[in-house]
Structure 1
Amino acid sequence: MKKTIKVPQQLLLLVALLAALNTFAQNKKPNIIIVIADDLGWNDVGFHNPEMITPNLDKFAARGVELQRFYVAPICSPTRIGLLTGKYPDRFGLREQVIRPHHVGGLPTAEKTLADVLATAGYKHRAIFGKWHLGQSDKKYHPLNRGFTSFYGHYTGSIDYFTHYRYGAHDWHRNFTPVTETGYSVELVGKEAAKFIRESSAAEPFFAYVAFNGPHSPMQARQQDLLKNGYDASKPHDKMPGDEGEKNKVNGENKIQEGQGNTLRQTYAAMVTGVDDAFGEILKAVEAKGIADNTIIWFLSDNGGSTTFGGSNLPLKGMKGSEWEGGVRAVSVVYWQGQLQGGKKATELMGYVDILPTLSKLAGAKNITATDGTDVLNGLKGKKLPERYLFLGKQGVVSQRWKLNAGQLFDLSKDPSETTDVAKAFPQEYSKMKNALAGFQKLVIPNPLISQPKGWQPPVNWDINQISSQK
């Protein structure tokens, strides 16, 4: 006769509670944080180049998954479009130029953004911090009308880091309201994002989209970051490139010289250190909140570095604005404590159009419209992804091994610096890549942006309500 073992009631309750907690943990939607650096080159982070001072990014890369083959568009606005829609910007005629202050138009309002998608998945708090750059000529392009629930930052690119001016007007806002705040733009954005994280509810998932304007021109760094990078006030200062000072005048005065170091590269490096420091504030907020195990953080650059303004993409060829690897292969790291094995390098082909489908699936979103990207979670976990092609724009297309650009074929598995055209040696592969490119080029439509009338000036404080009322 078998003995019946009596299990204490308390133990049964404990087992049930643990099972319930485990089910809750498995079903809980992750917090999502996307952080974009502006014009950060492949050779401009400490984990690629020990001369760069980026301790927070270095630690982040050591704990996360570094994406070795992550592709973006070669300039700012197009990458943001692809990231937020999962679609190539060519579909909207917005691949080859950024949305400038004098442009009328923006990301088409019929398109759903990642923020819109996450809203349907139960993410009540969807905040954007920093640079928008997707349209400021009408209220309908405003982030709060594109799926986000709060906005803190600037509409345009290339603002003065200290005065926050662009085109002679102050471009700094909280939601729809212009605000005046003292401080270095990257630092302000980092602190505001960290505050949002600290004040978030543990019971509700959040989405934070953080778009730093650094280290994009104009060349301006904080004094403390210049000193870390060897600045010597007794030594001369090189003249910095660009005319942003003329565009960003405050009451007619050019203040662009503030924050410049001894050399262009030193100034740029100090700006990168400033971005790293602001990113560190975000990481500290996540750790202090105790939510690292339920928060996925995706860091990337919007394109390669601009060598004109001090960036470096070595050993890759090319720079921002080109479809060579130095323009489109971006620094990117993904971290999710306990879910992704840290300290790994993912070598599978991935890109900016994959961010929306991947994060939408993780969030449990339903009825997602077709995108040009795909869910790459398996790639983040070190698994092989199906063979595919990514469109780089113009004459560029890339696969896991091959790349076609400007009519030349490169074997990236042996030649990541694109030194040798192997089209004649691999005619079949060359033909496949040409066919893939021809298919992508059918997506391209003309640029729909138009310019404001000659002599146009933005309203005081870039008040979008005034811009819309002028129509």
Structure 2
Amino acid sequence: MKFLTAAVMATGLIAAAPAEAQDSRPNIVVILADDAGFSDFGAYGSEISTPNIDALAARGALFSNFHASPVCAPSRAMLLTGMTSHLAGVGNLPETLPPQHQGAPGYLGRLADDVVTVAALLRQAGYRTGVTGKWHLGHEPSALPPAHGFDRSFVLDASGADNWEQRSYLPIYPDAPWFEDGKPATLPEDFYSSKFIVDKAIDYIDEGDGAAAPFFAYLAFQAIHIPVQAPREFVEKYEGIYAEGWEALRRKRFENVVARGLVPEGTELGPMPDGLRAWETLSEREKALFAKSMAVNAAMLEAMDFHIGRFIGHLKQRGEFENTVFFILSDNGPEPNAPTDIPGFSQWLWWEGYSRDVETLGEKGTYAFIGPEFASAAASPGAFFKLYAGEGGIRVPFIVAGAGIPAAGQVADFSFITDIAPTILDLANVEQVSAFDGRAVKPMTGRSLMPLLSGVAPHYGPEDAVGLEAAGNAALFRGNYKLVRNMPPHGDGAWYLYDMAVDPGETRDLAAERPELFEAMRAAYERFARDAGVLDMPPGYEQMAEISKKWMEKNGWYIAAVLLALVYLAAAAGRGLRRVIRRS
């Protein structure tokens, strides 16, 4: 009966349960990894140890055809609202928004006034609500979690930050803006991001001791976003694992994914984007640095899983575990950016005291990233990676397990990140609404997954179209087919058509072979873009170049000062050396 809740609610026969009757409804936990690739979790074929995540997958549903936005803030907006990102107000990263889009309804950089979060609906229905970790949906009072349904919150409103200290990881941010319950906050001395996020989530849950109300906990980890950092005891486990390089890892991940049946037999491995380096062309020093960086990346993911295990253990101690539903996913594909390629960035690292020493990489005061080649391996078997609409950028791991969730095993049906919010409402017996807090709100565009998980009904039909767009990178799914466009520098801006049922690696373009279908998909995408409020990107726009441009506009004087300081120090060192030579 529970699995039919969504259909029955649509008739208006079930209303939100009164607060005094809610003690039997499940707790809801959403665990969001940052930049984890499709094959990064152990349950998806990775060499990385994630036993706690894998155990949840074994008792629930593991999705092999789930998709998110190619970038983080739009995914987070869709996750919380069940709305297409532009309709939710977050169609692009605030940091990469071109000036022409500033203030447009789909590009506010915060949640729009005419959407409501799943947290707000759950709180109205009697749930206790809390969020810890990365927010990235605005830091004005009206944009922070207290204004969007969260009783308790300790969040970072930036695209990322250091995992050991309260400091920025990019020069576009003056600091790391953490907020507790809407007010600026200070991190503890013993801070490590994954540990702290779990500690605060536990604290917030424990505040409800004796309360009958269930809880909604949203844990938004910084793992494994740049800078990748992890305790030494986790890093040591992966020393030497990646010494054969990214091509070998990419092939091994692909073989494991195929062996587990996560993609169809006969799938071809998606191509690496043009212009990436071959492992054998690197110097021994470069190989050592990248292999160690990937080891830190793996260690950071395992550390996240370890602390998830602590969280699960705490729920078991409280007797809450069996009545809790877990949603575990990543916000997009793996991070390809290599910040040191940006002019002046290495000098900024030096100025800030960051080290890239191989021996200590991952520890406090160090700065690591895996780069586009290892990102391509982590996205295996998909093409591209984060930022792009290829499967490597948007097909991500997704697991649902716990109270009321059938042990469905692998789920191969297409699903989208907007489907999570309506699924949570379905589980909690809470209706979607057309008005909230005295204002009209748009209906959710996602669909509950419960009929699919229960076997009552398919999720999307062959004519249902689901579109997405971020910074010009775009896709539309309909039935087995996908229309996709990837922009420069790694894409060419052209549209391609693929059959996802047989070619999830996106290796065989069908546009010329199926021209009528191609044009129909193009028309469907244009309807999606019009209805969602998608704006065309200005000529010459590149997403990451926009960050560099804004940095230079804001901090050009700083970069010049650093370079002049380096020149002065080099000259001083040279004068000292000449004096030593003359004296000898």
Shift of 1:199: 4.8
RMSD over aligned CA atoms reads 3.1
The Cα offsets for residues 343-397 of structure 1, whole Å up to 9 and x where unpaired, read as: 6011122111111122112222235231111122122335522412221214311
SS in 2 for 1:91: coil
Shift of 1:180: 3.0
Q: Partners of 1:120 and 1:88 in 2: how far apart?
A: 23
Q: Partners of 2:220 and 2:46 in 1: how far apart?
A: 25
Q: Partners of 2:330 and 2:59 in 1: how far apart?
A: 18
**1:99–1:29 CA distance, 2 compared to 1 (3 A):** farther
Which amino acid in structure 2 is aligned with residue 396 of structure 1? Answer: A
Equivalent position to 1:320, from 369, 386, 399: 386
The Cα offsets for residues 289-318 of structure 1, whole Å up to 9 and x where unpaired, read as: 222332111011000112444331101111
- Partner residue, 2:269: none
Equivalent position to 1:122, from 121, 126, 133: 126
- Partner residue, 2:164: 162
Q: Partners of 2:176 and 2:508 in 1: how far apart?
A: 48
- Partner residue, 2:324: 295
Q: Partners of 2:55 and 2:38 in 1: how far apart?
A: 17
**1:364–1:349 CA distance, 2 compared to 1 (3 A):** same
Which amino acid in structure 2 is aligned with residue 174 of structure 1? Answer: E
Query: Is 1:372 the equivalent of 2:374?
Result: no
- Partner residue, 1:189: 197
Shift of 1:426: 3.2
Equivalent position to 2:36, from 35, 40, 46: 40
Contact 2:29 2:216 in 1 (8 A): yes
Query: Is 1:358 the equivalent of 2:367?
Result: no
Q: Partners of 1:360 and 1:431 in 2: how far apart?
A: 37
SS in 2 for 1:395: strand
Once the two structures are overlaid, the 10-residue window that deviates more, 270-279 or 84-93, is 84-93
- Partner residue, 2:401: 335
- Partner residue, 1:404: 483
Equivalent position to 1:172, from 178, 197, 201: 178
Which amino acid in structure 2 is aligned with residue 424 of structure 1? Answer: A
Once the two structures are overlaid, the 10-residue window that deviates more, 316-325 or 194-203, is 194-203
Shift of 1:209: 0.9
SS in 2 for 1:268: helix
Contact 1:191 1:281 in 2 (8 A): no
The unaligned stretches of length 5 or more in structure 1 are: 1-23, 236-259, 457-471
How many residues end up aligned between the 2 structures? 404
Which amino acid in structure 2 is aligned with residue 178 of structure 1? Answer: A
The Cα offsets for residues 165-202 of structure 1, whole Å up to 9 and x where unpaired, read as: 12343533322241231221111102222343455446
The Cα offsets for residues 196-245 of structure 1, whole Å up to 9 and x where unpaired, read as: 3455446211111110011000121111211222279xx9xxxxxxxxxx
Greater fraction helix: 2
Q: Partners of 2:120 and 2:84 in 1: how far apart?
A: 18
Shift of 1:94: 2.8
Shift of 1:127: 0.4
Equivalent position to 1:344, from 401, 404, 409: 409
Query: Is 1:422 the equivalent of 2:510?
Result: yes
Query: After TM superposition, which residue ranges in structure 1, 4 or more long, deviate above 4 angstroms?
Result: 24-27, 98-101, 449-456
**1:317–1:455 CA distance, 2 compared to 1 (3 A):** closer
Once the two structures are overlaid, the 10-residue window that deviates more, 46-55 or 34-43, is 46-55
Once the two structures are overlaid, the 10-residue window that deviates more, 157-166 or 323-332, is 157-166
The unaligned stretches of length 5 or more in structure 2 are: 1-19, 103-107, 244-288, 338-368, 435-442, 486-494, 537-545, 556-584
The Cα offsets for residues 259-313 of structure 1, whole Å up to 9 and x where unpaired, read as: x996221111111111111221222222222223321110110001124443311
- Partner residue, 1:245: none
The Cα offsets for residues 143-179 of structure 1, whole Å up to 9 and x where unpaired, read as: 1112111111322122111112123435333222412
Equivalent position to 2:72, from 57, 69, 76: 76
TM-score normalized by the length of structure 2: 0.64
Q: Partners of 2:165 and 2:23 in 1: how far apart?
A: 45
**1:341–1:212 CA distance, 2 compared to 1 (3 A):** same
SS in 2 for 1:141: coil
Q: Partners of 2:455 and 2:226 in 1: how far apart?
A: 36
Q: What fraction of aligned residue pairs are identical, expressed as a percent?
A: 29
Contact 1:64 1:336 in 2 (8 A): yes
**1:31–1:262 CA distance, 2 compared to 1 (3 A):** same
Once the two structures are overlaid, the 10-residue window that deviates more, 168-177 or 212-221, is 168-177
